[in-house]
Amino acid sequence: MKFLIDRCAGSRIASWLRESGHDVAELVGPDPGDSEILDQAAREGRILITLDKHFSQLVYHHTRAHCGLIRLPDVPATRRIQLLARILEAHGEDLSQGAVIAVRGDRIRTSQPRGGP
């Protein structure tokens, strides 16, 4: 799978995904803003991984194009990696179809909003 890692998600997530054989790009440099980040992920065919709730608003309320979105909670990196492993195992097919996945506590919610691939 191809991923774009938002700064707030952390470089440990990016490293873990690369070690797991995924194609991973990380955001570096000045923050271009949420709209541009989501556009970049869509242009490159990447699933965006973030902690930021604003991306869900862009996808759901503004029906912005995307290739999938994973919103992880603000927990230690080791816990985020555990959650991401669960998501990829249980929802990989959903993600390949542009799902939006949000984690709250141990609960994983998946949906297929308009604007996906």
Residue that wins the pLDDT comparison between 111 and 64: 111
Q: Can you state the angle between helices 54-61 and 34-43, rounded to 10 degrees?
A: 70
Average pLDDT, the chain: 88
Distances 58 to 22, 23, 80, 82 between C-alpha atoms, Å: 25, 24, 23, 26
Beta strands in the chain, from DSSP E residues, in sequence order: 2-5, 23-26, 47-50, 69-71, 100-104, 107-111
Specify the DSSP class assigned to residue 29.
S
Q: Domain ranges in the chain?
A: 2-111
Q: Which is higher by pLDDT, 98 or 113?
A: 98
Asked if pLDDT for residue 11 goes beyond 80, the answer is yes
Length of the chain in terms of residues written: 117
Choose the CATH number for 2-111 among 3.30.40, 3.40.50, 3.30.1360, 2.60.40: 3.40.50
